[in-house]
Amino acid sequence: MDILSPTNLAFMMQGFWTTILISAASIVLSVILGTVLAMVKSYCTGRLKWLSALATAYIELFRCTPNLLWILIIRFTVQGDATLISILAFTVFTSAVMAEIVRGGLNAVPKGQFEAAHSQGFGFFATMRLVVLPQAFKMIVPALFSQCTTVIKDTSFLKAIDVHEFMRNSSVVMGSARGIEQILVLYGFILLTYFILNFAISLAVRSYQKRAVAV
Amino acid sequence: MDLFDASRWATTLAGMGDLWGGFLFTIEVSLAGLAVALVTGTLLGVMSSTENRALRVISRVYVEFFQNTPLVVQVFLFYSGVPQIFRALGHTGTPVRVAPFVLGVVGVGLYHAAYVSEVIRTGIEAVPKGQMEGAQSQGFSRVQAYRYIILPQTFKIILPPLANQALNLIKNTSVLALVAGGDLMYNADNLVSDSGFLQGYVLCCVMYFVICFPLALLIKWLERRSKQTPKAKPTPAAGVAKEA
């Protein structure tokens, strides 16, 4: 019984760090891009209305097609480092989801906040940065973090293009597993690793929600 | 540009027969998977709202397990692990292969059941107990109270997130492309590998969009409708937001 030998563990953990790296980079980038998309969709009116329509088209396109499709398309069209390609694919896709989440937050900020900020001489960007966005983000913390969990889980789709992330490296180890016991031990290990990471995130969100209600 | 190359399109369109098969297969897996998710999820959601502690724990463990581990790993486990277990138990001599359809339905069905369960639980908790007491004090029987007072409020709350789960479920059937194949994503990937042209992915994109966009419109409509009458108590999420 040495399917979880130090060599195998080290190999899988290498993949785990790639998973973390890809997830973290994609989440940060897609929150930024998603916020921009959400603001464009919500606030580009009048002569800039076409920009808003463009943002809507972007969001709907990615919302109505699978993540895996974009992983394959970007793999097919972009040359370069596998990790960077993965981050690009996940950013492009997740930005659309993040945009909808941020928009939910923007909509929940009362109109009076805008009017009050304007009356105090704040311009559009100052209003956004200092008044609206902080309130919007406070409201969407649970949804944002639940999306983080989704991104971490979905990086396992990257196995399809052979990126050396946790799922792919674990599958390589799985190839050397002999007998039912080793296979089940290995699956147990893979599931537990993902579970601990994601469960820790959801516990953190829950404690934040409790504090947010208490305040 | 390659994307507008007529001959590449001609080649791709000529070879897209399997794509239609995959298109239908994806729709079938989605419908059956949705049925499994709704039935299992409703059961789990009701279990989590009962007084019975054991039932609540079972439901909780199920939801946490399926929500916090990747669908890809779960499906691989069903595909390669479960047949091994059967073989070890001595039921069959050779390893059984799970049919792609069954794998897809069980995979996305059980995974999304966890999310459906959470939606149902929130829906049940969102209608205050006073509604039932109020209805009964006005002479409604229990059944009538559910029919006219409780369920209409619950449905208004749970339909938008349920439709959203259906949308995610359809997209997640693409996990089959990694394992047993047969679905739209798998056939599109084969087409692109055979021809070497991006066009196959574009067609695949259009086909997924055709399935999912009507559902996305339905979600928008349901969301608008659920906001219209302020009679129902706001969902817990909105409640948190207001108090924060």
The answer as to whether B71 is a domain residue is yes
Average pLDDT for chain B: 86
Q: Name the residue among A69, A174, A209 with its Cβ closest to that of B204.
A: A69
The answer as to whether B184 is a domain residue is yes
The total number of structural domains in chain A stands at 1
- Measured CA to CA, the distance from residue A87 to residue A18 in angstroms comes to 11
Q: Of B209, B122, B205, B108, whose CA–CA distance to B160 is shortest? A: B122
Q: Is A7 exposed, middle or buried (0-12, 13-18, 19+ CB in 10 A)?
A: exposed
CATH number for position A59: 1.10.3720.10
Residue A61 is part of which domain span?
Answer: 6-214
**pLDDT digit string, tens, across residues B119-135:** 999 998 888 888 888 99
C-beta separation of B207 from B19 below 8 A: yes
Q: Is the pLDDT of residue B240 over 60?
A: no
Q: Name the residue among A63, A67, A157 with its Cβ closest to that of B216.
A: A63
In chain B, what residues touch A147 (CB-CB under 8 Å)?
Answer: none
State whether A64 and B71 contact (CB < 8 Å): no
State whether B177 and A138 contact (CB < 8 Å): no
What distances in angstroms separate CA B158 from CA B101, B125, B161, B235, one per listed residue? Answer: 28, 11, 6, 10
Q: Is the pLDDT of residue B242 over 50?
A: no
State whether A73 and B212 contact (CB < 8 Å): no
Question: Across residues A153-178, what is the average pLDDT?
Answer: 91
The answer as to whether A1 is a domain residue is no
Residue ranges in A109-165 assigned as alpha helix (H): 111-119, 124-126, 133-154
In chain B, what residues touch A156 (CB-CB under 8 Å)?
Answer: 70-73
Q: Of A33, A148, A30, whose CA–CA distance to A91 is shortest? A: A30
Give residue A131's Cα distance to chain centre.
25
Torsion of CA A116, A117, A122, A126, to 10 degrees: -170
Q: Name the residue among B68, B178, B211 with its Cβ closest to that of A159.
A: B178
User: Count of residues for chain B?
Assistant: 244
Q: How confident is the model at residue B27 (pLDDT cuts 50, 70, 90)?
A: very high
Question: Across residues B67-85, what is the average pLDDT?
Answer: 88
The answer as to whether B244 is a domain residue is no
The Cα of B80 is separated from the nearest Cα of chain A by a number of Å equal to: 9
What distances in angstroms separate CA B161 from CA A34, A95, A130, B29, B218, one per listed residue? Answer: 21, 20, 31, 20, 11
C-beta separation of B128 from B233 below 8 A: yes
**pLDDT digit string, tens, across residues B158-171:** 999 999 999 999 99
The Cα of B171 is separated from the nearest Cα of chain A by a number of Å equal to: 5
Question: Across residues A52-77, what is the average pLDDT?
Answer: 94
State whether A167 and B208 contact (CB < 8 Å): no
- Measured CA to CA, the distance from residue A11 to residue A186 in angstroms comes to 13
The Cα of B137 is separated from the nearest Cα of chain A by a number of Å equal to: 32
The total number of structural domains in chain B stands at 1
Average pLDDT for chain A: 91
- Measured CA to CA, the distance from residue A179 to residue B35 in angstroms comes to 35
**Chain B residue nearest residue A183, CA to CA:** B81
Q: What is the pLDDT of residue B244?
A: 39
Q: What is the pLDDT of residue B239?
A: 46
- Measured CA to CA, the distance from residue B5 to residue B198 in angstroms comes to 11
State whether B177 and A67 contact (CB < 8 Å): no
In chain A, what residues touch B216 (CB-CB under 8 Å)?
Answer: 60, 63-64
C-beta separation of A113 from A128 below 8 A: no
Q: Is the pLDDT of residue A27 over 70?
A: yes
Count the Cβ atoms, other than its own, within 10 Å of residue A18: 21
Q: Name the residue among B69, B192, B208 with its Cβ closest to that of A191.
A: B69
Q: What is the pTM (predicted TM-score) of this model?
A: 0.88
Question: Across residues A143-165, what is the average pLDDT?
Answer: 93
Question: Across residues B40-65, what is the average pLDDT?
Answer: 92
The answer as to whether A188 is a domain residue is yes
The answer as to whether B243 is a domain residue is no
Q: What percent of chain A has pLDDT over 70?
A: 99
Angle between helices B184-195 and A67-77 (to 10 degrees): 10
Beta strands per DSSP E along A33-111: none
List the 203-222 stretch of B: residues with Cβ below 8 A of A: 204-205, 208-209, 211-213, 215-216
Q: Is B7 exposed, middle or buried (0-12, 13-18, 19+ CB in 10 A)?
A: exposed
Residue owning tokens 């794998």:
B103
The answer as to whether A84 is a domain residue is yes
Q: Name the residue among B76, B84, B185 with its Cβ closest to that of A68.
A: B185
**pLDDT digit string, tens, across residues B195-213:** 888 888 999 999 999 999 9
CB pairs under 8 A between A and B: 125
Residue B159: partners with Cβ closer than 8 Å, 6 or more residues away: B222, B226
Residue B154 is part of which domain span?
Answer: 2-238
CATH number for position B91: 1.10.3720.10
Q: Which of B88-102, B172-186, B230-244 has the lowest mean pLDDT?
A: B230-244
**pLDDT digit string, tens, across residues A81-100:** 999 999 999 999 999 999 99
The Cα of A48 is separated from the nearest Cα of chain B by a number of Å equal to: 24
Q: How confident is the model at residue B241 (pLDDT cuts 50, 70, 90)?
A: very low
- Measured CA to CA, the distance from residue A39 to residue A107 in angstroms comes to 11
Q: How confident is the model at residue B10 (pLDDT cuts 50, 70, 90)?
A: confident
**Chain A residue nearest residue B190, CA to CA:** A72
Q: Is the pLDDT of residue B150 over 80?
A: yes
- Measured CA to CA, the distance from residue A18 to residue A83 in angstroms comes to 8
Which residues from A are below 8 Å from B when comparing CB atoms? 60-61, 63-69, 72-73, 76-77, 108, 138-139, 142-143, 149, 152-154, 156-157, 159-160, 167, 171, 174, 180, 183-184, 187, 190-191, 194-195, 198-199, 202, 209, 212-213, 215
The answer as to whether A80 is a domain residue is yes
Q: How confident is the model at residue B75 (pLDDT cuts 50, 70, 90)?
A: very high
- Measured CA to CA, the distance from residue A77 to residue A79 in angstroms comes to 7
What distances in angstroms separate CA A120 from CA A117, A126, B197, one per listed residue? Answer: 5, 11, 57
Q: What percent of chain B has pLDDT over 70?
A: 91
Q: Is A162 left (phi over 0), alpha (psi -120 to 50) or beta?
A: left
